[in-house]
Chain A
């Protein structure tokens, strides 16, 4: 019954991340929420790798890759935020609705 707890925790974290992702007005907080999502995924991967694949631990390999990619992604994300900030002097997501209908 151990696996379910991990999965539930990961799901809760994921949902919190989603909530943060779609409600935050600050673009940096959006990136932070994405980090939460990715970490929730990592917990999942670790849990599965421990409980279902404890010999080959492919999940852990996945996790390493995810962390790596997440770091790169966060870096690029922050770069984008900075670029936008440079042009528009704000990081408010509600000000970034220029590409509409």
Chain B
């Protein structure tokens, strides 16, 4: 039975896409009588089908070699584009995670979007995302991964721009689209460049090619850098990270997806391309550099945020940065494990805070407080999400970070230092958020704050259970790194850094230190709070440059190109205007003209007979 499910596992994206399409008729303009709710239910059913299908297919892949499904797409002269799907335990596992989190986020959205009419649009876009992510997980071809990434970029634009009557949403959606698009376009350059080098886009063939490839180091470095740029935008890495901050204007349920899964789509491609990156040491170090800068910068910024959603979005950048480090140092396994643990923990955190926003209205953590006694489930979910995200045994991310740090220990000790520091800073920022939301005394906005309705708490609690059970699940699949071979010093360092981060933060934000906290250097605090002034940085560099170029091109077009063509017309016009005065109405002038012309003609015709003698005579 598992086998038949496995053979048809390519249906999973189709379910999701179908769910998305079926949700559309309940847009307010089409079915006017029933209200929008059936859109959500239909989508939920399709997502459940997708989840069930992938779960049932999973046992069939376990301990079996990966299978390939080939679907011919386009065959022209010299180019055969075949969609090849890889059905392995990793890809089917990714399907389970994607559809599972989608299912939970959609149940959550049934509660969260209660007072909203836009379910048709919202759920169809969630369906599109789910389909795209599933297709990406199955897809074993760089070209079609790129296609899916672009579709997801468009999806992000539409989903962030769901409530387009808000001006910040419109700018946020714009930035999300353009920033990711720039990365994707660089990726396209890389994809095309890779074709000329390797002659294949199949990840497996690329890996085989990369083992023996002899290529010009400069060329492969440039191609690899272009290939990095795509995931760099997708994963919200420095300096293409502003969009994730602004994408927090979208609805919370989509944020769950974005924080946990969508940003991982870039990481997925990155991990798949790891053999190619290993060809270029410069690209690998660039990846590590980008990841390290993002990890440190993002975790510092996250500490200085006051918006409950933005506190978390920077942590997403941080963890994607760690994945960049992992891929840059050729540790796919650690990267994949980190993607998994981060997805679950991050989704749990967003679900918990989303519920707080839902009935506390404000997103400003300075206006919250004292929710612990009244909202224990959200609080517990936040704690478990935090512990699942930072290195805290026995929860998931500890193992991922352990594996990563262990792999770096011998070769790049300074990267271990970065991981420890990032872990401590993330622990600090998440505990700070917990302290501000759940600790202290209730503030005006959180005076009366009941727990969210069951539709939001249920998925949160299910995910809560998953995060708690993740180590057990991983152990039963023997995916956890072997404790005996791991470096105990690293483990101790990680644990201590977590405890140190959480502890310091708890002392500051749960203790009696007067708030708001002010750093001795206000400039530094503002620098972090305003995200290193990235919007200004964009504005004075790229946006300014492009705007000036556009103005220049516009002026050249208006004045030079248009001018030249208009000048021809103007010249004819002026010529006519000026020459008409030759018809001056004086008959005698006409006679003169006639005479002069005839004389000149006569001179010209008879010149050969007397011209030479005439010239001799004159000169």
Question: A and B from one assembly?
Answer: yes
Pick from B586, B591, B592, B595: contact of A97, CB under 8 Å: B586
- Cβ distance A32 to chain B, nearest Cβ, rounded Å: 14
Is B587 part of the contact surface with A, judged by Cβ < 8 Å?
yes
CB of A96 within 8 A of CB of B587, answer: yes
CB neighbours (8 Å) of A97 from chain B are 584-586
- Count of A interface residues, CB-CB < 8 Å: 14
B580 near A101: Cβ-Cβ < 8 Å = yes
Question: What residue in chain A is nearest B588 (Cβ atoms)?
Answer: A22
Interface residues of A, Cβ cutoff 8 Å to B? 18, 21-24, 30, 93-94, 96-101
Does A21 lie within 8 Å of B591, measured CB to CB?
yes
A-binding residues in B (CB < 8 A): 580-581, 583-589, 591-592, 595
Q: Which 9 A-B pairs have the closest CB atoms?
A: A100-B585, A97-B585, A101-B580, A22-B588, A22-B592, A101-B583, A97-B586, A99-B585, A100-B584
The residues of A that contact B592 with a CB separation of less than 8 Å are: 22
Known A101-B580, A101-B581; contact A94-B591, beta-carbon cutoff 8 A: no
Partner pick for A93 among B583, B588, B595, CB 8 A cutoff: B588
With A18-B595, A21-B591, A22-B591: A94-B581 Cβ-Cβ less than 8 Å? no
Chain A residues with CB under 8 A of B585: 96-101
Chain A positions within 8 Å of B586 at CB level: 93-94, 96-97
Shortest distance between the CB of B586 and any CB in chain A (Å): 5
B584 in contact with A30 (CB, 8 Å):
no
Min CB distance A24 to B, Å, is: 8
B-chain residues with CB within 8 Å of residue A101 when the two chains form the complex: 580-581, 583-585
Contacts of B588 in A (CB 8 A): 21-24, 30, 93
**CA–CA, A99 to B584, complex, Å?**
8
11 contacts between A and B (CB under 8 A): A21-B588, A22-B592, A24-B588, A93-B586, A93-B587, A94-B586, A96-B585, A96-B586, A98-B585, A100-B585, A101-B585
* Given A21-B588, A93-B588, A100-B584, 8 additional A-B pairs, CB 8 A: A21-B591, A22-B589, A22-B595, A96-B585, A97-B586, A99-B585, A100-B583, A100-B585
Min distance, Cβ A72 to any Cβ of chain B, angstroms:
20
**Nearest chain A residue, comparing its CB with the CB of B580:** A101
The chain A residue with its CB closest to the CB of B582 is A101
Question: Would you give the shortest CB distance from B518 to chain A, in whole angstroms?
Answer: 83
- In the bound complex, residues from chain A placing their C-beta under 8 Å from that of B581 are 101
Contacts of A94 in B (CB 8 A): 586
Q: Nearest Cβ in chain A — how far from B598, in angstroms?
A: 11
Which residue of A is nearest B595, CB measured?
A: A18
- Within the assembled complex, what's the spacing in Å between the Cα atoms of A100 and B589? 11
Chain A CB count within 10 A is highest, among B584, B587, B588, B595, for B588
Beta-carbon nearest neighbor of A100 in chain B: B585
Task: Give the distance in Å from the alpha carbon of A23 to the alpha carbon of B595 in the complex.
Answer: 13
Distance, CA A44 to CA B581, complexed state (A): 37
Question: How many Å from the CB of A17 to the closest CB on chain B?
Answer: 11
Shortest CB distance B588–A (Å): 5
A100 to B583, CA, bound (A): 5
Chain B residue nearest in CB terms to A101: B580
Q: How many angstroms from the CA of A18 to the CA of B593 in the assembled complex? A: 12
With the chains together, A98 CA to B587 CA distance in Å? Answer: 10
Residues on A with beta carbons closer than 8 Å to the beta carbon of B584: 97, 100-101
- Give B586's nearest chain A residue, CB to CB: A97
Chain B residue with the shortest CB-CB distance to A21: B591
A21 to B586, CA, bound (A): 12
**Cα–Cα, bound, A98→B584 (Å):** 9
Kindly list chain B residues whose C-beta atoms are within 8 Å of the C-beta of A24: 588
Q: Please name all residues of chain B whose beta carbon is closer than 8 Å to the beta carbon of A21 when the two chains form the complex.
A: 588, 591
Which residues of A sit under 8 angstroms from B591, Cβ to Cβ? 21-22
By beta carbon, the residue of chain A nearest B576 is A101
Residues of A within 8 Å of B589, CB to CB, are 22
Bound CA span A93–B584, Å:
12
A30 vs B580: C-alpha distance when bound (angstroms): 25
| Of A22, A30, A96, most B-chain CB atoms within 10 Å | A22
CA distance A72 to B595 in the complex (A): 24
CA distance A93 to B586 in the complex (A): 7
CA distance A98 to B586 in the complex (A): 8
For A100, the chain B residues whose CB sits under 8 A away are 583-585
In the assembled complex, the Cα of A71 lies from the Cα of B585 at a distance in Å of 27
Give the CA-CA distance A99 to B587 in the complex, in Å: 9
CB distance from B414 to the nearest CB of A (A): 87
Q: How far is the CA of A72 from the CA of B581 in the complex (A)?
A: 34
* Cα–Cα, bound, A68→B589 (Å): 28
Residue of A nearest to B584 (CB): A100
